[in-house]
Amino acid sequence: MTDSPLCNRQVRVVKRAAGIPTPDVFELVSAPIPACADGSVIVRVVVAAVDPAMRGWLSRERNYLTVEDGAVMRAEAIGEIIESRNPEWHVGEVVYGVFGWQQYAAARPDDLYWRIDPGFAPAEVWLGTLGLNGLTAWIGLLQVGRPRPGETVLVSTAAGAVGSVVAGLARARGLRCIGITQGAAKLLRCRETLGCAHAIDYTGADLPGAIAAACPGGIDVFFDNTAGAIADAVFPVLNRGARVIQCGSVAVPTWLPVPSGPRRERDMIVKRLSWQGFVVLDHRDAFPEALGDLKRLFAAGMLDAETEILDGLEAAPGALHYLYSGHNRGRLCVRP
Amino acid sequence: MTDSPLCNRQVRVVKRAAGIPTPDVFELVSAPIPACADGSVIVRVVVAAVDPAMRGWLSRERNYLTVEDGAVMRAEAIGEIIESRNPEWHVGEVVYGVFGWQQYAAARPDDLYWRIDPGFAPAEVWLGTLGLNGLTAWIGLLQVGRPRPGETVLVSTAAGAVGSVVAGLARARGLRCIGITQGAAKLLRCRETLGCAHAIDYTGADLPGAIAAACPGGIDVFFDNTAGAIADAVFPVLNRGARVIQCGSVAVPTWLPVPSGPRRERDMIVKRLSWQGFVVLDHRDAFPEALGDLKRLFAAGMLDAETEILDGLEAAPGALHYLYSGHNRGRLCVRP
């Protein structure tokens, strides 16, 4: 860090990504720290997220949210308010919001999610297990998936930021959880730390056979973060009345053109499946109850919040490629 | 009819159907009229259904229901009780139930759905618009699809037994309905009789373009009886938060092997779609309310119950092939 404190280093988007965003989609620039407009605050970013969803924000395809070329890369982050021209937000408060991949952000009230208590958990945990990742897992699994006692849950990317909380919640509710992940370390984490009844490597020789063998009673709730070939191996094992939460699609490298896969219509009818597309920001009403429960479980040691922090904004342009490689451990973020 | 009244003509299943059932899947036989066991009744069949769902009952593939080789072909039917050894069911009552493609059926209480009033509507209407077809349309559209005022509904096989009731219910609720069908006569029926805002021929040159042009505000509820290429043309036009009721898959000729189609996962997320597999028999609790409303609308002239009756059991073995050809008019059934 050779910049003066008055200089704000930022990662900006320079072009659309084709598939997984590579470092050349971004540029690292320096800009003055913005002035604080009336009603806004200036936040010093402590830690910023690196999320699978960012791929969609950077793609050419229609998405629920897009970051335009020339803009600072959008990212949820934890930061400290260092200047305020808003009477509801005060200097010194640590806040969760959309601050981007940069050192300092001018944040309007809409960009600020809520205050966090750094004494309760480290900043990076508030960005993951106690942030939108945890809320995604909680609301998706419990309110959309509606698991009943004794049911089996299967979660893809089980060692990831959302998946690990799904597994933890399933264990806390006494559900049987099967995790799909990759590599010996993550398999071990799923079994030993997250309490999955089985952890399955999706690069194994016979994924459909492995899933069927791990789920002799079938699958009642499928929390799908991957789509693609992994989902194709899960659908035949779904039980009648199963619920599918479509939360992500990281196993499909591109949607231009839309790839083909096995038709689901017959399974939908024969098994009376419920398949729901899920974006957590649609469910703000449920945040207080969900966050309260997540905090309670975290304090009780029932949620493992493993985090990998990349140091310095220089690491951000390559971070999505790294995330999609699957070599990261737990929730990935960057400390700018 | 040269048989004596003591002889029961029946259509039996002799083998599994590959795709659309052809006449050689069945055989026409004569058997004695069964004796009436304790607790059962003997029904003289008045009119029996010919339903798209029968293909699934006859296929090799796993289905929600199967008719085994050697059995009388299962069919919902209307019949008159001619003998009873059950104090709850009386000779002379006209009943709706599962009586099969035959002239006389021995029916246990489980085979009997409910009594019908032949003075209120003809028997064939009780088999369609006021039977499971109508209940499928009512519960699927209103309880699963949950349309809100001002929304647009698209229904495939709009001139069929279920689709025509979906269109009628949509009109009765003030919804905008787009019907997919085939041929000039059915297009006219959709527009003029069923009140569809647009009727689209699925054999036209540019089905996706025609659907998009007919739905400038998108589609909120997709009542899908066809799956396949028709569904592929509908999905791009679905609105955010749209509901898809998967009721049938008649446009897909075989599921062995499972055919490929465009992956839906990204649409599921980006549009927050709700996709529900639907079999009406799972929703018996809703039958009284649904049937009450259907009767009220039928009496008010708001539901068109066009029916095509094939005369004689000889017509039954070829009836499914005829139904899937799309040349039938309205609800198809056979008078044995």
Across the interface, whether the CB atoms of B262 and A259 are under 8 A apart is answered yes
Residues 273-302 of A with CB under 8 A from B: 273-279, 282
Please report the pLDDT score of residue A253 as a whole number. Answer: 83
Write out chain A residues lying below 8 Å of B136, CB-based: none
Which of A61, A246, A265 has its CB closest to that of B252? A265
Please report the pLDDT score of residue B326 as a whole number. Answer: 82
Please report the pLDDT score of residue B2 as a whole number. Answer: 46
> What number is the average pLDDT over the span A210-237?
97
Percentage of residues in chain A with pLDDT exceeding 70?
98
Which of A249, A262, A274 has its CB closest to that of B258? A262
Please report the pLDDT score of residue B19 as a whole number. Answer: 85
- Among the listed residues A78, A87, A75, the one whose alpha carbon sits nearest the alpha carbon of residue A114: A78
Three-state secondary structure readout of chain B:
CCCCCCEEEEEEECCCECCCCCHHHEEEEEEECCCCCCCCEEEEEEEEECCCCHHHHHECCCCCCCCCCCCECCCEEEEEEEEECCCCCCCCCEEEEECCCECEEEECHHHEEEECCCCCCCHHHHCCCCCHHHHHHHHHHHHHCCCCCCCEEEEECCCCCCHHHHHHHHHHCCCEEEEEECCHHHHHHHHHHCCCCEEEECCCCCHHHHHHHHCCCCEEEEEECCCHHHHHHHHHHEEEEEEEEECCCCCCCCCCCCCEEECCHHHHHHCCCEEEECCHHHHHHHHHHHHHHHHHHHHCCCCCCCEEEEECHHHCCCHHHHHHHCCCCCEEEEEC
DSSP assignment, residue A271? T
Closest residue, chain A, to B270 (C-alpha): A64
Distance CA A54, CA A72 (A): 13
Span B42-62, pLDDT tens digits: 999 999 999 988 998 999 877
The yes-or-no verdict on residue B4 having pLDDT over 60 is no
Percentage of residues in chain A with pLDDT exceeding 90?
90
Please report the pLDDT score of residue A13 as a whole number. Answer: 97
Across the interface, whether the CB atoms of B262 and A262 are under 8 A apart is answered no
Quickly state the pLDDT bin for A153 (edges 50, 70, 90): very high
Residues 63-82 of A with CB under 8 A from B: 63-64
The yes-or-no verdict on residue B256 having pLDDT over 70 is yes
Quickly state the pLDDT bin for B64 (edges 50, 70, 90): confident
Please report the pLDDT score of residue B57 as a whole number. Answer: 93
On the 0-12 / 13-18 / 19+ scale of CB atoms within 10 A, B152 is buried
- Among the listed residues B330, B3, B57, the one whose alpha carbon sits nearest the alpha carbon of residue B168: B330
Percentage of residues in chain B with pLDDT exceeding 90?
90
Across the interface, whether the CB atoms of B279 and A266 are under 8 A apart is answered no
Distance CA A227, CA A250 (A): 7
The interface predicted TM-score of the complex, written ipTM, equals 0.91
Token pair, residue A251, equals: 């196993």
Closest-CA distance, A264 to chain B, in angstroms, reads 9
Span A47-66, pLDDT tens digits: 999 998 899 899 987 777 89
**Spatial contact of B227 and B251, defined as CB atoms under 8 Å apart:** yes
Closest-CA distance, A2 to chain B, in angstroms, reads 41
CATH 3.40.50.300 fits B7-128+306-335, yes or no: no
Going by DSSP bridges, is the β-strand pair A331-335/A41-49 parallel, antiparallel, or unpaired?
antiparallel
Distance CA B321, CA B20 (A): 6
Token pair, residue A44, equals: 């010093």
Residue type, position A176, single letter? R
> What number is the average pLDDT over the span A24-42?
95
User: What is the H or E stretch that residue A131 is in?
Assistant: none
Distances (CA, A) of A216 to A71, B25, B295: 50, 35, 46
Distance CA A105, CA A273 (A): 44
pLDDT-wise least confident of A168-177, B16-25, B168-177: B16-25
Span B66-86, pLDDT tens digits: 999 999 999 999 999 999 999
Token pair, residue B198, equals: 């647009």
- pTM, two decimal places: 0.92
Closest-CA distance, A192 to chain B, in angstroms, reads 31
Distance CA A315, CA A28 (A): 10
Closest-CA distance, B224 to chain A, in angstroms, reads 9
Please report the pLDDT score of residue B208 as a whole number. Answer: 96
Distance of CA B198 to the CA centre of its chain: 22
> What number is the average pLDDT over the span A170-177?
97
**Other residues' Cβ atoms within 10 Å of the Cβ of residue B3:** 10
Span B206-237, pLDDT tens digits: 999 999 999 999 999 999 999 999 999 999 99
Across the interface, whether the CB atoms of B249 and A264 are under 8 A apart is answered no
Closest residue, chain B, to A62 (C-alpha): B270
DSSP A146-214: ---TT-EEEEESTTSTTHHHHHHHHHHTT-EEEEEE-SHHHHHIIIIIS--SEEEETTSS-HHHHHHHH
Angle between helices B287-299 and B163-172 in degrees, nearest 10: 80
Please report the pLDDT score of residue B1 as a whole number. Answer: 42
The yes-or-no verdict on residue A2 having pLDDT over 60 is no
> What number is the average pLDDT over the span A259-278?
97
Distances (CA, A) of B162 to B137, B138, B172, B309: 6, 9, 15, 16
Q: Is the peptide bond before B122 cis (omega within 30 degrees of 0)?
A: no
- Sorted by where each begins, the domain ranges of chain B are 7-128+306-335, 132-281
Quickly state the pLDDT bin for A6 (edges 50, 70, 90): low
Write out chain B residues lying below 8 Å of A269, CB-based: 64, 246-249, 277-279
- Among the listed residues B8, B20, B3, B29, the one whose alpha carbon sits nearest the alpha carbon of residue B255: B20
Closest-CA distance, A109 to chain B, in angstroms, reads 26
Write out chain B residues lying below 8 Å of A276, CB-based: 268, 272-275
Q: Which CATH superfamily is domain B132-281 in?
A: NAD(P)-binding Rossmann-like Domain (3.40.50.720)
> What number is the average pLDDT over the span A118-130?
96
Token pair, residue B164, equals: 């025509």
Closest residue, chain B, to A225 (C-alpha): B265
Averaged pLDDT of chain B: 95
Across the interface, whether the CB atoms of B259 and A263 are under 8 A apart is answered yes
First to last CA, chain B: 10
Across the interface, whether the CB atoms of B255 and A246 are under 8 A apart is answered no
The yes-or-no verdict on residue A1 having pLDDT over 60 is no
Please report the pLDDT score of residue A254 as a whole number. Answer: 84
Across the interface, whether the CB atoms of A277 and B271 are under 8 A apart is answered yes
